[in-house]
Amino acid sequence: MLSFLIISIGVFLVFLCQTCILPGVMPLSVLPNLFIILTASNGFMREENSGLAVGFCCGLLYDIFFGEVIGFHALLYMYIGFLNGKFSRVFYPEDIKLPLALITVSDLTYSLICYVFQFLLWGRLDFSYYFLHVILPEMVVTLTATLVFYPLILLINEWLRKRERKKEQRFV
């Protein structure tokens, strides 16, 4: 219950941070994708169910405020969370290489799918331009943001894990 509450607050804060605080603080034309960081890290830290639920909530929030149709981003983030959950078996908290790689690949996939469905299908064929000016910068900025936010997420997750383990011992 506690972890559910904390993760929901996390999603909420990330949404506020992404839409409200970041555009004001960072004078960049390309913003990092914090939803991807949260969704992916929930996936490989807390397995498929948590990953896909967090992804679904992030995507739905985004869809309601900024989406053309409700459900597109929810679906996309959900699958990203789910697929990241598959890697929870090879995830070790000490190793930062796997999370970085997973988050980068997730962001790349997300951007590519967004491009295909929102631009390519509308006749914007100049892939190299969009790759160099939107997808690649977003990937780099997200990777940088991961280095800042990931330790924080890891810390919270470790704390939750510890509590859960204690609870289990109490039951047994």
Partner 1 sequence: MSPIVRRKGEKFTIPSKVLLLILTIFCSAMMLLTFVTDLFEKPFNSIIGYVVIPFEKGIGSAGAWIHSRSEELGQIHKLIAENQALKEQVAKLTEENTLLQQDKYELNKLRQLYELDEQYEEYHKVGARILSRDSGNWYSAFLIDKGADDGLEKNMNVIAGGGLVGRISSVGPNWARVTAIISDNANVSAMTLATEDNLMVSGSLKAMNEGTILFSQLVDSKGVVKPGDKVVTSDISDKFLPGILVGYILSIEQDNNNLTKSGTLIPAVDFEHLSEVLVITDRKQTIEENP
Please give the residue ranges that form the binding site for partner 1 (CB under 8 A): 12, 15-16, 18-24, 29-31, 33-35, 47-49, 52-53, 56, 61-62, 64-66, 68-72, 74-75, 78-79, 82, 85, 89, 114-115, 118-119, 122, 124, 126, 129-130, 133-134, 137-138, 167-168, 171-172
Copy the structure tokens of residue 65.
């405020």
> HSE of 40 in the Cβ direction (CA atoms, 13 Å)?
23
CB neighbour list of residue 89: distance below 8 Å, 6 or more residues apart: none
Q: Is 117 left (phi over 0), alpha (psi -120 to 50) or beta?
A: alpha
**Nearest to partner 1 of 96, 141 (CB atom):** 141
Question: Least distance in Å: CB of 2 to partner 1?
Answer: 13
Minimum Å gap between C-beta 168 and partner 1 is 5
CB of 99 vs partner 1, minimal distance in Å: 20
